[in-house]
Amino acid sequence: MTPAETEERVVPPDAPAERLDKTVARLFGISRGRAMEWIAEGRVRVDGKRAPKGAPAPPGARIAVTKPPPDQPAPEPDLPIRIVHADAHLIVADKPAGMPSHPLKPGETGTAANALVGRFRELAGVGRSGREGGLVHRLDTDTSGLLLAARTDAAHAMLRAQFSGRTVEKGYLALVAGEIHAGGEIALPLLHDPRDPRRMQAASDAAYAEEHGARPAVTRFEPVERRGGFTLLDVEIPTGVMHQIRAHLAFIGHPLAGDALYGGPDLPGLSRHFLHANRLAFAHPDGSRARYESALPADLSEALRRL
């Protein structure tokens, strides 16, 4: 766990005379509410002494703040996650269904980030957010498959740039309701469904999409095989918007099998949606072209066999 850090700033000689909480907020670039929290927690010193939030902070005063350590995933080395590849720059892991990618709130456990930090402790300090545990992207909780994490800040920046630049090959296997006989592309922006905040909504009206801040999203698919009124698709997404594959395929009338949130039909013996991140390909920080694959897990293979 990264230790807390102390920073010190001097109130400029021409600064207006203000309360301590306002001064801390201005000097350290935080909200006034956060400044008051730090003062109440005893993290703020004025010329070496604690002071209340309403105390004056005159020009020339030395304000020291001991910042709380970043919120990082608790190490859980015994969580079930398969390490597909590990080197000095990155980790590729195969996440099981039912496991969130990373914590969404302080103290949350049971996520892929907890599992990875438990095995590779340096991941706790890598990434834009302490909770990400070095992860470069994420998967829905009930989506299984390949996750990529960076072991250094340099590798994280390089890999994130590839995701942002849409140069990472992200492949999935998806079983959808109905028969699809030809491949296609869905290029519709996505936004949160105003009727149900759990869902994403495809916006076919450009003006509506722009007005509501919809995010660009592109989903490409090819049929692999058709069985019992379902189609197994090979899917690629250059973009990465929340629920992208699920929302796009539901929009064209072919929701994922087992995806109750988007209207997908149940499959006997399957307790989650049929979506597996089966391949990742990208430029490795060492200069090579990396490619990793993951076979369908047992629950999806069995559900497909039963068709």
> Which residues are known to be catalytic?
140
* Cα end-to-end span (Å), the chain: 48
Query: Which tokens belong to 230?
Result: 């379902």
61 within 8 A of 47, measured Cβ to Cβ: yes
100 within 8 A of 139, measured Cβ to Cβ: no
> What's the DSSP call for residue 275?
E
Q: Distance (Å, rounded) from C-alpha 79 to C-alpha 108?
A: 14
Q: Give the sign of the dihedral formed by CA 100, CA 290, CA 298, CA 273.
A: positive
- In DSSP notation, 16-76 reads --EEHHHHHHHHHT--HHHHHHHHHTT-EEETTB---TTSEE-TT-EEEEEEPPP--PPP-
Angle formed at CA 113 by CA 111 and CA 119, multiple of 5 degrees: 115
The strand pair at 230-236 and 169-177 is best described as antiparallel
252 within 8 A of 188, measured Cβ to Cβ: no
Q: Distance (Å, rounded) from C-alpha 190 to C-alpha 200?
A: 6
Consecutive H or E run containing 116: helix 112-119
Overall residue count recorded for the chain in this entry: 307
